[in-house]
Structure 1
Amino acid sequence: MFATATRNFVEEVDPGGSLIPVSSPNDSIAILTVVIKKKRHFWQKSKYLPTDFTLNDILEGDTPIQPVITEVEFIKYNGTYGDHIQAKVDASFIQNKVSVEGKDTSKLQSSFGSLKKEELDVQNLLKTSKERRLDMSHCLVDQTMVNRKQVFGIVKERIVTTQPCSVIEEVQKDGQCGGILTLCGPAVKKVSLKENTSLSKDSNVTMEIPPHTTLAYALMELEVKHDGHFKLCLMSGTNGGFEEVDSHDPLAVPAASAQFTEKIHFRKALEDLNQQFEAHAALPPQLKSSLLQKISDVINDRAAVTSLENTLDHMCCNDGAASDGANEPQIQAILDLAAQSGESQDAIIKALNLTLSAIEAMPDESLALLKTCCSPILLPDLKLMGQCALGSGELPLSAMNTLTEEDYERVQHLFSSCKVLLTKDGDTLRTKIPQGAGNLPLILCIAVRGLAAFVQ
């Protein structure tokens, strides 16, 4: 809820800029706070992990740097965001007829009031930090260097509340079932939906935010030498890091390759990752079905997707230990199912992390569309279309399972949202990736490939 509010705020006041939204009101972020920037896969957006340390804490010597900070009025901000989703499905069977109708309405109101901006005097920092060195034996430095893909940044600017304010979330869910449907099967209990059943759920949550709470911040990365000397990365787009970075990890694509736009590079990247999805395919059918359903339940909830991906990423990097995000019921349910895979649990977690990292990197519009396409019947067709997009660009329609006209329109919108054009030409499906599409086509194909593995 807080993370959604700060993300909306940054998208409104600094779209495509340097501001980073704060994900939790518990994050104590001040000027010179050390933040760890990390990215496991080249298609991912960078993640930012605030630490409990400042630059002074990890410097050698006993003389702290005294930062020069200026404060200016920023803006007065109040925002309201809402979604309204309504759907109806009618299904007829030989002896039964079912009508299911649902409506979801949500509203998020952020009343931050007057905000101020604190800015670091960078020129002063350049003078006072000259010839200073990081303490390479400090526990934070030592633990961060273990993963060479992690980078130190220090907070040079932050947006702060000046008065008590609030975030209010209102959610209303209504559903109706008409007709009667009875399901019977071997070792399955009898399940009936009775006529004219109505379900509803309302929630209204208010979060009070105190003054001096950081909503967003900007970083300056550090380029760290092996002896502890460091440089401040002053230019936009200049990346920091530790000297002698190891780039032999097959998932760590060199920086120059992060701008892949040719299909041959996309196809090679997907082929390198395909083996990891075999862990999904090897699961028992019922377990695969349950995992797909649970993941489908959270796909169009950006906050839930990010929290799940963060938890899985933490488990991959910390020998299977779950993070605090596992306390959320939706996430814990997925982890409980993954635990049922026995000896292959580690492989399942890695495959899930890979799938969720791609889903999390998709635009909001794509997440909503992916949710509508996330069915056991349609996912194999999506996988074929993804292979077509990264391959020859042509696919006979006869190769599809049961692609209806309605399905095609939804899939067409999904692929278009990720910069892949789908068209029909007689009995042939054609795909085209326009120049300048970036990594979105590959991100879509990875997400679809991972989800489709649950129905293979």
Structure 2
Amino acid sequence: MFAIATKNFVENVDSGGFLISVSSLNDDINLLTVVVKRKRFWFWQKPKYLPADFILSDILTGDTPLEPVVVEKDFLKYQGTFGDSIQGTVDASFIKTSVSLEGKDTTKLQSSFGSLKKEEVDVQKLLHDCKDRVLDMSHSLIQQTKEKHRQVFGIVKERIVTTQPCSVIEEVQQGGQCGGTLSSCGPKTSKISLKENGSLNIDSNITMEIPINSTIAYGLLELEVRQNGHFELCLMSDTNGGFEDVDSPLEKTELLGVSGAPVKHTLQQELEQLKDHFQLLSALPASTRSSLLQQISKHMQDPAAIGALQIVLDQMYLGKKPGLGDIGLTESQQQKIQETLSLLEHSGQAESIQTTPFLTALHLIISALDEMTEDCLAVVRSCSLPPTLQTLERLVQCVSGAGEMPLSSVDLTQDLYEMTEHLFASFNVHLKRDSDVVRTEIGHQPGSRPLVLCVAIRGLASLAPTC
């Protein structure tokens, strides 16, 4: 709840900007707190930020602590309500079977952070104080971070703080009805008939009280760290930190970590490089694909569950045994993730699913979904029926291909068009229906957003049973 609320806050007040949302109230984030920035597996993924239990003074040599000048000012007053409502009915009749399903799912998250303030370090004073200071390269945190080239040091330059007790409220309403008739007629005159009707309703209302002076977002200055412990603060937004490569001369050093941007390819080329993962999934038995699609749809009900599944898959990708009880999951979330992992293990048909290509393929899809906002996940989930996914996949082919296609070649109803238009726009792709043609156009400076959209849709469509 808290992580979703702070993520929504940052998306609304500083989308694509400097602020980083706080994921847990347990994170004690103050000015000059050391934060480890970890690069992810797929280049489009946002980095993970891991606050440490130290401030900058703790990892410097010498006994003189830094005493920064702090500037405080009012930020804004914030209250947001987010949610979605999904309702659907399915009726199916076969020779000997008839089934009817009806479901409704409504979720609302209300964040009332009240009046917020910004605390910011005076950077000029900080630069002066750090001029002759050196990092203690023998410090355990530095040693452990330096060993992993994907990780970079940053320090908290500014933070957004609550000034009064506030709350986050989540309301969930789920309901469903199921009816069915199964008849069996043999060569004799006897008949067997089974009728079943049932309904399920689940309501929950959870309130989380947020204490005063809680950090909900923060900004970082990354550090360029030399072998001898000297460091520089990265003051420009396009300058990234890292550790000096021990094999490079000092005057020609290249910093490890996230300093190098990936080589730019066209969207079509990038998707071509990933096609083996999609083909692997589409080659699974129809029942397995259907079950995996259902499991992922369940996770999409809760963005925190997608994030938790991503963490578990990250651990498995590194060859570690995932500890479901160690990442703050509810019992229901643990059960859903375990069901997904069981399906993955069955698909891999190997002793260790860490080594299966199915892990990589699923990791690919979930990493794309994890980049989505709550409202985008709601749209994707509502489009998770196989015929709708096939329509979205054709539109993705249009985005990465010619940029237009005949309207007759895609089943694009008015409701689906409006949802898809909103979804695509969120990833900097403009969708336009003009007479008998559908056109797609990638916006200016899209970054990796269109690729994330295409990966998510193509991945889910690979799991959809063929109609």
Q: TM-score range by the shorter chain?
A: 0.7 to 0.9
Q: CA 1:378–1:105 in 2, change beyond 3 Å: closer, same or farther?
A: closer
Measure the CA separation in 2 of the matches of 1:10 and 1:213: 15
**Equivalent position SS for 1:174:** strand
Is 71-80 or 152-161 further displaced after alignment? 71-80
The Cα offsets for residues 326-385 of structure 1, whole Å up to 9 and x where unpaired, read as 843232332233233324612333322221111222344432232233234554564454
Task: Name 2:68's counterpart in structure 1.
Answer: 67
Once superposed, what is the RMSD of the aligned Cα atoms? 3.7
- Kept in 1, the 8 Å contact 2:243–2:255? The answer is no
> 1:283, CA displacement in angstroms?
4.6
Task: Name 2:199's counterpart in structure 1.
Answer: 198
Paired residues for 1:200-349 under 5 Å: 200-244=201-245, 254-255=260-261, 257=263, 260=264, 265-277=266-278, 279-281=280-282, 283-317=284-318, 319-322=320-323, 324-325=326-327, 327=329, 328-329=333-334, 330-340=336-346, 341=348, 342-343=350-351, 345-346=353-354, 347-349=357-359
- Kept in 2, the 8 Å contact 1:416–1:422? The answer is no
Q: Is 1:34 equivalent to 2:46 in the alignment?
A: no
Q: CA 1:43–1:169 in 2, change beyond 3 Å: closer, same or farther?
A: same
> 1:256, CA displacement in angstroms?
6.8
Measure the CA separation in 1 of the matches of 2:401 and 2:319: 36
Measure the CA separation in 1 of the matches of 2:57 and 2:461: 49
**1:241 is matched by which residue type in structure 2?**
G
Task: Name 2:461's counterpart in structure 1.
Answer: 452
Identical positions, percent: 51
Paired residues for 1:49-68 under 5 Å: 49-68=50-69
Q: CA 1:273–1:134 in 2, change beyond 3 Å: closer, same or farther?
A: farther
- Kept in 1, the 8 Å contact 2:135–2:231? The answer is yes
**1:439 is matched by which residue type in structure 2?**
S
> Given the two structures, how large is their TM-score scaled by the length of structure 1?
0.81
The Cα offsets for residues 202-249 of structure 1, whole Å up to 9 and x where unpaired, read as 111122233332222111111222332211112334322233498999
Measure the CA separation in 2 of the matches of 1:30 and 1:129: 18
Q: CA 1:247–1:43 in 2, change beyond 3 Å: closer, same or farther?
A: farther
- Kept in 2, the 8 Å contact 1:389–1:420? The answer is no
- Kept in 1, the 8 Å contact 2:84–2:378? The answer is no
Measure the CA separation in 2 of the matches of 1:300 and 1:114: 30
**2:369 is matched by which residue type in structure 1?**
I
Measure the CA separation in 2 of the matches of 1:296 and 1:124: 50
Paired residues for 1:354-369 under 5 Å: 354-369=364-379
Task: Name 2:250's counterpart in structure 1.
Answer: none
Measure the CA separation in 1 of the matches of 2:384 and 2:376: 12
Task: Name 1:187's counterpart in structure 2.
Answer: none
- Kept in 1, the 8 Å contact 2:97–2:183? The answer is no
Q: Is 1:21 equivalent to 2:21 in the alignment?
A: yes
Measure the CA separation in 2 of the matches of 1:101 and 1:14: 39
**2:226 is matched by which residue type in structure 1?**
K
> 1:265, CA displacement in angstroms?
1.8
> 1:443, CA displacement in angstroms?
1.4
**1:84 is matched by which residue type in structure 2?**
S
* Equivalent of 1:371 in 342, 357, 381: 381
Task: Name 1:176's counterpart in structure 2.
Answer: 177
Task: Name 1:44's counterpart in structure 2.
Answer: 45
Q: CA 1:338–1:114 in 2, change beyond 3 Å: closer, same or farther?
A: same
**Equivalent position SS for 1:236:** coil
Q: CA 1:389–1:215 in 2, change beyond 3 Å: closer, same or farther?
A: closer
* Equivalent of 1:440 in 449, 455, 458: 449
Q: CA 1:87–1:284 in 2, change beyond 3 Å: closer, same or farther?
A: closer
Measure the CA separation in 1 of the matches of 2:343 and 2:226: 44
> 1:29, CA displacement in angstroms?
0.8
Is 160-169 or 33-42 further displaced after alignment? 160-169
Structure 2: which 5+ runs fail to align?
185-191, 246-252
Q: CA 1:420–1:315 in 2, change beyond 3 Å: closer, same or farther?
A: farther
How many residues were matched structurally? 439
